[in-house]
């Protein structure tokens, strides 16, 4: 992609990588399994509308969003496939969801009763999926309540039950816990669509017994498993520019709090990215970026809209030059997982905290 001439910090989104990842995650699935692509939270920071449109064109059958507002955005962008609101919906959001034919997650009889009243008043069908809690303890009905919830839904004319599902809490890290969750998921009715297979489950090749796959992180090219698995391609690159290059004498402090002192004479680049853009402050004096294919350490604290890098080994470093936080520079590549390890967090957080106002250039 041609470097945008007028951006200080920006993201580049590869639709070819996105399509590749969808194909990769489909491999090995039974032919009739449908993909419910998780595009919640602005498609993990990649841009909800362009990502959903690309996946739609690539044959993705259904979509999952975090809330009603995201579902409405997809409808207004022309997405006609089923859209499941994965989170809990509040009563004031019900009318909008009903008008846009969004499928709502029900985790309790309280939610079901509230939605039934709204649907009857609106004289509109309520598309729903019932969620079973198998150990996540976030959303979903427990096994006893789940049976009651299904019975209540079956007796209410406004409801159209389109499926059931659960959520795996440790598919990337705890096989024993995952097996217990899958055993509990046997309560999901086999005569209805059902799903539980997230990216980690798909890449782990867990025994597949659901009608839908529900990938999230893997679509965006990040692998939640430590062990090797099918190659995914990062969809997002995050870049910035050098604002100033200066010399710092031995013993001088750098950035807020004077937490870093130069051990020798250093050449330091001030870069137009900080924690207001989504760069974690925990990367202070421990993170890195790429410039001209070289790994450059962060010096001192990450500040609100600027960060300082050691470019002593780069004599040609100059004002306006490209800096890569995530992506490729020369022969080196930095991933969201690399940044996450240095920041002490997870790739999901790195991607979703990139400020949505930053330009996303689609190719």
Q: Is 132 within the bounds of a domain?
A: yes
Residues 249 and 187 occupy one common structural domain: no
For residue 331, the domain's CATH number is 2.40.37.10
- From the number of C-beta atoms within 10 Å of its C-beta (0-12, 13-18, 19+), residue 224 rates as buried
Nearest CA-CA partner of 322 in 250, 285, 273: 273
* Residue-range definition of the domain harbouring residue 240: 236-362
pLDDT above 90: percentage of residues in the chain: 90
Which pLDDT band holds residue 24 (cuts at 50, 70, 90)?
Answer: very high
Q: Domain total for the chain?
A: 2
Of the three residues 192, 220, 248, the one that is the final residue of a domain is: 220
The count of other CB atoms within 10 Å of the CB of residue 183 is 10
Structure tokens of 242?
């050098």
Residues 260 and 205 occupy one common structural domain: no
Residues 34 and 104 occupy one common structural domain: yes
Of the three residues 220, 244, 275, the one that is the final residue of a domain is: 220
The better pLDDT of the pair 339, 31 is held by 339
Residues 39 and 149 occupy one common structural domain: yes
Tally: H helices and E strands in the chain? 11, 19
pLDDT tens readout for residues 121-176: 999 999 999 999 999 999 999 999 999 999 999 999 999 999 999 999 999 989 99
What is residue 228's predicted lDDT score, i.e. its pLDDT?
62
Residues 307 and 345 occupy one common structural domain: yes
Beta bridge partners of 246: 268
Residues 106 and 245 occupy one common structural domain: no
What sign does the CA torsion over 7, 291, 218, 276 have? negative
Of the three residues 152, 187, 220, the one that is the final residue of a domain is: 220
pLDDT tens readout for residues 182-229: 999 999 999 999 999 999 999 988 877 789 999 999 999 999 987 666
First to last CA, the chain: 7
Q: Is 225 within the bounds of a domain?
A: no
| Dist. CA 282–CA 285, nearest whole Å | 8
Q: Is 231 within the bounds of a domain?
A: no
Q: Is 1 within the bounds of a domain?
A: no
Residues 170 and 270 occupy one common structural domain: no
The answer to whether residue 230 scores a pLDDT higher than 80 is no
Q: Quote the crossing angle between the two packed helices 143-154 and 109-122, to the nearest 10°.
A: 20
Catalytic residues: 40, 256
Residues 103 and 209 occupy one common structural domain: yes
What ranges in 29-87 are assigned the alpha helix state H? 40-45, 48-57, 68-76
Structure tokens of 286?
């421990």
What is residue 295's predicted lDDT score, i.e. its pLDDT?
97
Residues 208 and 267 occupy one common structural domain: no
Residues 71 and 38 occupy one common structural domain: yes
For residue 197, the domain's CATH number is 3.20.20.10
Span 297-302, mean pLDDT? 98
Q: Is 20 within the bounds of a domain?
A: no
């Amino acid at each position: 992609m041609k470097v945008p001439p007028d951006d200080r910090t920006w993201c580049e989104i590869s639709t070819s990588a996105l399509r590749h990842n969808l194909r990769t995650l489909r491999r090995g699935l039974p032919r009739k399994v449908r993909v419910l692509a998780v595009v919640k939270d602005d498609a993990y920071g990649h841009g909800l509308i362009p990502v959903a449109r690309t996946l739609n064109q690539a044959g993705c059958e259904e979509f999952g969003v975090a809330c009603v507002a995201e579902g409405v955005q997809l409808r207004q962008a022309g997405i006609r496939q089923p859209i499941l609101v994965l989170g809990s919906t509040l009563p004031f959001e019900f009318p909008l969801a009903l008008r846009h034919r969004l499928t709502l997650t029900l985790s309790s009889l309280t939610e079901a009763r509230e939605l039934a009243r709204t649907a009857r008043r609106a004289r509109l069908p309520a598309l729903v999926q019932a969620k079973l809690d198998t150990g996540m303890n976030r959303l979903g009905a427990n096994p006893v309540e789940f049976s009651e919830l299904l019975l209540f839904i079956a007796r209410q004319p406004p409801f159209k039950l389109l499926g059931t599902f659960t959520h795996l809490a440790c598919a990337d890290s705890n096989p024993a816990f995952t097996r217990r969750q899958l055993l509990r998921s046997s309560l999901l009715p086999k005569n209805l669509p059902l799903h539980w297979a997230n990216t980690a489950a798909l890449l782990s090749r867990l025994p597949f017994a659901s009608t839908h796959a529900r990938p999230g992180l893997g679509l965006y090219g990040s692998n939640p498993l430590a062990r090797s698995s099918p190659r995914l391609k990062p969809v997002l690159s995050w870049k910035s520019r050098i604002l100033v290059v200066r010399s710092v004498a031995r013993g001088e402090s750098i950035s807020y709090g004077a937490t870093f002192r130069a051990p020798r004479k250093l050449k330091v680049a001030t870069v137009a990215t900080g924690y207001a853009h989504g760069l974690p402050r925990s990367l202070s004096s421990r993170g890195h970026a790429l410039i001209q294919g070289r790994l450059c350490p962060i010096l001192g604290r990450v500040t609100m809209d600027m960060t300082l890098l050691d470019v002593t080994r780069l004599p040609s470093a100059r004002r306006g030059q490209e800096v890569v936080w995530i992506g490729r520079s020369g022969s080196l590549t930095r991933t969201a997982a690399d940044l996450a390890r240095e920041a002490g967090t997870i790739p999901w957080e790195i991607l979703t905290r990139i400020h949505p106002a930053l330009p996303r250039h689609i190719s």
